[in-house]
């Protein structure tokens, strides 16, 4: 009765319902995926939001404490501010650079003969596909004289004693940036290559006749506008990755890293929210997760707006 | 498509559809190759050289660590510690790989156990994901029903944040289901990987509606259409999904979900071996190579198909 009162046009309701019944086979097809998607993505996001207003240690039921978690994060938690700063620095550097890299390399590779193109795509894409193989950077930045970087630098007489790459706070962010960039030619890179292949080449001839002088003009006026949708997809991938740096930091710099030099929002979240942690505070961790969520979604929506303007 | 108006789904009509598909794809393929023909306008030699050098420099940066690991795994211990380090070994040996399998004596669990665990997680996770994601992608791409737009929208938004955001509640949910310390804790959430659904949906968008109509006229229900017409057509897309899921699952180390040593995946063992210090450098390289070979191998054979899929990846 209440629903009827709320809904002034019952006929439309009925028709939606019959439409749904008529299409029930489609619901049965999407059901398995949606069930898992809702359980492990939609509900967690909502739960995270709700729990962020509570104090919750998984043993006792959550207790509502209002905005305390957020206030504590920004006013009383110095480590969070370090994590936020590091995350933003890493994202602002690796995000745009990795995005440009993915595009520029895709664009350069696209002009090469197919065999060479195939090989270069493989080489560039290999790091991001190889799972936890980034651990091999541990060997490169290893702190003794057998570490590849130390050995090379010593051999060239640039340094005399091994540098403690992974243990010195001042190198932490640089190392993370290098490794992250090494890992960053992922799905978006492939999307760009594929997008470039579908660009209509006859337009280039037309462009040349119309007075396009060099490859840069060609890129801006012809190529980019044609692959706007891939550019947007790539941006989503790169932004999400750039703001989500965490596992690489834990694996290379330790957890927690020396003086929190490689601490990011993700590692801070794990500090409070992982069951291995001594300070299990799910409410607090949820507040961190919610901030990360807002940051990622906000950055993505903003950049989407910007990219829509490309070529105009 | 004139013959395909028969009322039942006979083998011959399926063959007709296949024929039509083949024809369609051959034609589009022809168009593509024509389009790709090199047109080199607006180019300067100077620019070519600079850009090529740039490309080579980054290629080296990208390949060097992997190459070094591969060659390291083929070096004897004496050569690994040669100062300065050499890229290519003088004597190639497979000792490191042999040692790896001999580590059985030192740990309670043989390395093959970890390997089997990773394989189980990867295979089940990937298979389930490809099936569920394609099954869901088909109606989302080609059919209209209430809620479709909302779901598509949700899927796009879900690409915009990483798994870290949902880690804590996911952990709770998994523990409510009693899946902690089982491999299902990693396999089942992997089914719902939205990037896979997104790419699959984008790829299915371009399937011509006439093909689906023809199958309907032949009397196929939606499931038959899906398995007999749609799935064979989107082979490049499922290969892409396989590669992406491989990438996700092959490197998993069990994280917070798996405590029993027996159930832990290879990546965890790799971490332990690398942590074992300098003396294990060679074996660590060998494990890394094993970890690398499979996903890269899969990609080597499917690069073209993956690029086919990615061509439709665009966000509107």
Contact B251 A133 (CB under 8 A): yes
**Coil, helix or strand for B273?**
helix
Burial of B90 (0-12, 13-18, 19+ CB in 10 A): exposed
Predicted local distance difference test score (pLDDT) of residue B259: 82
What are A140-167's pLDDT values in tens digits? 888 877 777 888 888 888 888 888 888 8
**Coil, helix or strand for A278?**
coil
Contact A136 B315 (CB under 8 A): no
Put simply, whether A185 touches B (Cβ < 8 Å) is yes
Q: Dihedral of the CA atoms B51, B54, B56, B61 (nearest 10)?
A: -160
Per-residue pLDDT of chain A (312 residues; tens, 9 = 90+): 444 444 455 555 668 888 888 888 999 999 999 999 999 999 999 999 999 999 988 788 889 998 999 999 999 999 999 999 999 999 999 999 999 999 989 988 888 888 888 999 999 998 888 766 677 788 788 887 777 788 888 888 888 888 888 888 889 999 999 999 998 888 899 889 888 888 887 888 888 888 787 878 888 888 888 888 889 999 999 999 999 998 888 888 888 888 888 899 999 988 887 766 667 788 999 999 999 999 999 999 999 988 888 765
Chain A: give the shortest CA distance to residue B164, in Å: 6
Percent of chain B with pLDDT over 70: 84
| Pairwise CA distance, residues A130 & A10, whole Å | 55
| Pairwise CA distance, residues B288 & A63, whole Å | 46
pLDDT band at B106 (very low <50, low <70, confident <90, very high): low
Contact A19 B311 (CB under 8 A): no
Among A130, A214, A269, select the one facing B292 at the smallest CB separation. Answer: A130
Put simply, whether B281 touches A (Cβ < 8 Å) is yes
Chain B residue with CA closest to A149: the answer is B85
The class (CATH top level) of A67-307 is mainly alpha
Which helix (H) or strand (E) segment holds residue B187: the answer is helix B184-191
- Say whether the ipTM exceeds 0.90: no
pLDDT band at B312 (very low <50, low <70, confident <90, very high): confident
Contact B39 A129 (CB under 8 A): no
Chain A: give the shortest CA distance to residue B198, in Å: 10
pLDDT band at B6 (very low <50, low <70, confident <90, very high): very low
Number of neighbouring beta carbons within 10 Å of residue A4? 9
Contact B223 A293 (CB under 8 A): no
Backbone dihedral region for residue B208 (phi beyond 0: left; psi -120 to 50: alpha; all else: beta): beta
Predicted local distance difference test score (pLDDT) of residue B32: 52
Residue numbers in B near A296 (CB within 8 A): 160-162, 165
Predicted local distance difference test score (pLDDT) of residue B263: 86
Any idea where the domains of chain B sit in the sequence?
Answer: 44-93, 95-316
Contact A36 B132 (CB under 8 A): yes
**Coil, helix or strand for A63?**
strand
Chain A residue with CA closest to B136: the answer is A30
CATH 3.30.450.20 fits B95-316, yes or no: no
Among B160, B188, B307, select the one facing A297 at the smallest CB separation. Answer: B160
| Pairwise CA distance, residues A208 & A202, whole Å | 10
Put simply, whether B54 touches A (Cβ < 8 Å) is yes
Predicted local distance difference test score (pLDDT) of residue B137: 95
Cβ atoms of A235 and A197 within 8 Å: the answer is: no
Among B140, B146, B170, select the one facing A30 at the smallest CB separation. Answer: B140
* Residues of each domain in chain A carrying CATH 1.10.3720.10: 67-307
Average pLDDT score over chain B: 81
Cβ atoms of B208 and B24 within 8 Å: the answer is: yes
Alpha carbon B11 to its chain's center: 33
Put simply, whether A275 touches B (Cβ < 8 Å) is yes
Which of A100-109, A179-188, B182-191, B307-316 has the least mean pLDDT? B307-316
Put simply, whether A174 touches B (Cβ < 8 Å) is no
Within 8 A by CB and 6+ apart from B218, the residues are: B4, B6, B7, B8, B9, B10, B13, B14, B17
What are B110-160's pLDDT values in tens digits? 777 888 898 999 999 999 999 999 999 999 999 989 999 999 999 999 999
Predicted local distance difference test score (pLDDT) of residue B7: 46
- Can you count the helices (H) and strands (E) in chain B? 15, 0
């Amino acid at each position: 009765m209440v629903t009827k009162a709320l809904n002034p046009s019952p006929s439309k309701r009925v028709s939606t319902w019959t439409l749904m019944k008529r299409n029930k086979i489609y619901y049965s097809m999407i059901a398995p995926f949606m069930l898992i998607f809702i359980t492990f993505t939609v509900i967690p996001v909502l739960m995270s939001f709700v729990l962020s207003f509570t104090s919750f240690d998984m043993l006792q039921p959550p207790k509502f404490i209002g905005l305390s978690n957020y206030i504590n994060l920004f006013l009383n938690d110095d480590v969070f501010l370090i994590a936020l700063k590091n995350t933003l620095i890493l994202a602002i550097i690796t995000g745009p650079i990795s995005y440009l890299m993915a595009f520029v390399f895709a664009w350069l590779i696209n002009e090469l003969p197919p065999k060479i193109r195939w090989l270069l795509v493989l080489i560039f894409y290999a790091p991001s596909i190889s799972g936890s193989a980034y651990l091999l950077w541990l060997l490169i930045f290893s702190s003794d004289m057998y570490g590849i970087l130390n050995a090379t630098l010593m051999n060239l007489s640039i340094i005399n004693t091994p540098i403690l790459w992974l243990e010195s706070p001042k190198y932490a962010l640089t190392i993370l940036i290098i490794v992250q960039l090494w890992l960053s030619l992922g799905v978006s890179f492939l999307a760009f290559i594929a997008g470039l292949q579908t660009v209509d080449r006859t337009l280039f001839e037309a462009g040349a006749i119309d007075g396009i002088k060099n490859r840069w003009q060609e890129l801006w006026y012809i190529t980019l506008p044609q692959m706007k949708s891939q550019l947007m997809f790539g941006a989503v991938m790169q932004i999400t990755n750039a703001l989500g740096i965490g596992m690489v930091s834990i694996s290379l710099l330790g957890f927690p890293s020396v003086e929190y030099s490689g601490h990011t929002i993700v590692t801070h979240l794990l500090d409070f929210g992982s069951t291995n942690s001594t300070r299990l505070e799910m409410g607090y961790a949820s507040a961190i997760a919610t901030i990360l969520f807002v940051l990622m979604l906000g950055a993505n929506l903003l950049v989407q707006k910007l990219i829509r303007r490309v070529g105009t | 498509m004139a013959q395909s108006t028969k009322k039942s789904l006979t083998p011959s009509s399926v063959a007709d559809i296949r024929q039509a598909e083949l024809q369609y794809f051959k034609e589009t393929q022809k168009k593509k190759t024509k389009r790709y023909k090199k047109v080199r306008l607006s180019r300067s030699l100077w620019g070519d050289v600079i850009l090529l050098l740039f490309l080579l420099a980054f290629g080296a940066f990208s390949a060097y660590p992997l190459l070094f690991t591969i060659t390291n795994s083929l070096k004897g211990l004496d050569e690994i510690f040669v100062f300065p380090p050499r890229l290519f070994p003088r004597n190639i040996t497979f000792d490191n790989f042999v040692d790896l399998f001999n580590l059985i004596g030192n740990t309670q669990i043989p390395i093959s156990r970890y390997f089997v665990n990773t394989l189980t997680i990867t295979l089940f996770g990937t298979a389930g994901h490809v099936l569920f994601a394609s099954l869901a992608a088909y109606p989302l791409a080609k059919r209209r029903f209430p809620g479709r737009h909302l779901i598509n929208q949700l899927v796009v938004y879900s690409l915009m944040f990483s798994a870290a955001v949902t880690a804590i509640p996911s952990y709770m949910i998994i523990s409510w289901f009693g899946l902690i310390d089982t491999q299902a804790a990693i396999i089942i959430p992997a089914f719902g990987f939205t990037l896979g659904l997104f790419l699959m949906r984008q790829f299915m968008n371009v399937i011509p509606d006439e093909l689906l109509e023809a199958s309907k006229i032949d009397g196929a229900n939606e499931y038959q259409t899906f398995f007999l017409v749609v799935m064979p057509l989107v082979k490049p897309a499922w290969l892409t999904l396989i590669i992406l899921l491989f990438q996700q699952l092959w490197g998993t180390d069990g994280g917070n979900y798996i405590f029993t040593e027996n159930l832990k995946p290879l990546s965890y063992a790799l971490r332990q071996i690398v942590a074992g210090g300098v003396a294990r450098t060679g074996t660590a390289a060998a494990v890394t190579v094993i970890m690398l070979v499979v996903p890269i191998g899969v990609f080597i054979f499917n690069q073209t198909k993956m690029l086919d899929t990615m061509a439709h990846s665009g966000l509107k």
